[in-house]
Amino acid sequence: MEKGMQYIMNTYSRFPLKLVRGEGTYVYDENGKKYLDFAAGIAVTSLGHANKKLTEAIKSQAEKLLHISNLYWNEPQITLAEKLVKNSAFDKVFFCNSGAESVEAALKLARKYASKSGSGKYEIIAMNNSFHGRTLGAITATGQKKYREGLAPLLPGIIHAEFNDIKSLEALITDKTCAVLLEPVQGESGIHPADKDYLVKVRELCNQNNLLLIFDEVQCGAGRCGSLFAHEIYGVYPDIAVMAKGLAGGVPIGAMLATEKAAQGFKPGDHASTFGGNPLATAAANVVMDELTGGLLSNVKKQGEYLTLKLKELAAKHKCITEVRGLGLMLGIELNVPAKDIVAKCIENGLLLVSAGERVIRFVPPLTVSKEEIDELAGILDSSI
């Protein structure tokens, strides 16, 4: 850890914990101490740690071909794109390597689409309290001051409306607006699901004003909420959706999906990524997609309901929990005490959790989590509080 602090740039406040291996919903530190992992690398390790099918696919792909660039075709990438399209309302996929990159791709596609139509539109309306990543475009879209300080001037033409407030959005639409960007379930700012009525109206407003609707499903997508995309639960379909995090179970990947119409905004040369969709990452994501379409989603729904029940029991017992909310296995508890104190105590007691803002603890375990593991979590959390 001392060496890490000496050589690694000081951008993270890490817990003093060095993890060396994992298995399913558990990880182990260098002394062999076992931790129940409900942080899952911040909603990433969707199939748990050291999943056999995933490990085999990564190993076998590494023995064949790791990387070739997008100058040529590769089979795992095409197969993954086909799976994503056949299991969604989208027609085309662009691959990249992270959530922020997928957001950048969507911001660019929205502007390119508008510029191609000669409309002169460029403005994108994002939401207050959102989180879209740390690149300059994504951080401009992120509606939280604390992340944007000291970076001015940010990208012009991105403004913010109140989330879950249709009037606030309506008031900001002008003849310069080309797109609306939002998370169907805001994650990093504290697990805030959109209201169904609101999302339906956002779609209507976009249709009426000829705006592209972009959903950031980096955290709430890839099965996390109980369906492949969170927007399917709402029955509201965007023109563009971006995903990352859990899509390849821990191998870096990002994807932007678009309808045929929106995808027309890009022509060859308009956007690219050296690593995007490389054979290793897409071979891993193919395994995750097969699991998600092969029955894993029913476990997400079932265990999501059970976890909600257990968290509500804890809320009834402990006054410091003021609300339980979320969808599927993307749940949060609102606290009236600092989240970090409880998270630190849980680590001591063998449980990894991740906070969201100062007063919310997130529960984003592997999608393979079992009822027994949820019982174990509830016990540790109870005694830690």
Beta strands in 24-176 (DSSP E): 26-29, 34-37, 92-96, 123-127, 158-161
The least CB distance from residue 168 to ligand PLP, in Å, is 20
The least CB distance from residue 172 to ligand PLP, in Å, is 21
Single-letter amino acid code for the residue at 348 = E
Q: Check 216, 239, 275, 363 and give the catalytic one.
A: 216
For 330, other C-beta atoms within 10 Å of its C-beta total 24
The strand pair at 34-37 and 351-352 is best described as parallel
- Say whether 79 sits in a helix, a strand or coil: helix
The least CB distance from residue 60 to ligand PLP, in Å, is 26
Q: Check 95, 131, 215, 229 and give the catalytic one.
A: 131
Active-site residue flag, 176 = no
Compute the chain's Rg from CA coordinates: 21
Report the sign of the C-alpha dihedral through residues 14, 15, 20, 25, in that order: negative
- Which residue ranges make up the site for ligand PLP (CB under 6 A)? 98-100, 103, 131-133, 183, 187-188, 216, 218-219, 244
Residue with tokens 């490990």: 55
Active-site residue flag, 216 = yes
Inter-residue contact 24 to 45 (CB < 8 Å): no
Residue of minimal CB distance from ligand PLP?
99
Q: Which is nearer to ligand PLP, 36 or 222 (CB)?
A: 222
CA distances in angstroms from 380 to 285, 314, 342, 345, listed in the order given: 32, 11, 11, 9
The least CB distance from residue 116 to ligand PLP, in Å, is 26
Among 253, 247, 302, residue whose Cα is nearest residue 277? 253
Inter-residue contact 290 to 84 (CB < 8 Å): no
Active-site residue flag, 375 = no
Q: Check 83, 92, 121, 245 and give the catalytic one.
A: 245
The least CB distance from residue 186 to ligand PLP, in Å, is 8
Give, as one character, the DSSP assignment of residue 362: E
Residues with Cβ within 8 Å of 197's Cβ and at least 6 positions away in sequence, in order, are none
Single-letter amino acid code for the residue at 276 = G
Q: Which is nearer to ligand PLP, 27 or 247 (CB)?
A: 247
The least CB distance from residue 322 to ligand PLP, in Å, is 23
Q: Which sequence positions are flagged as catalytic?
A: 131, 216, 245
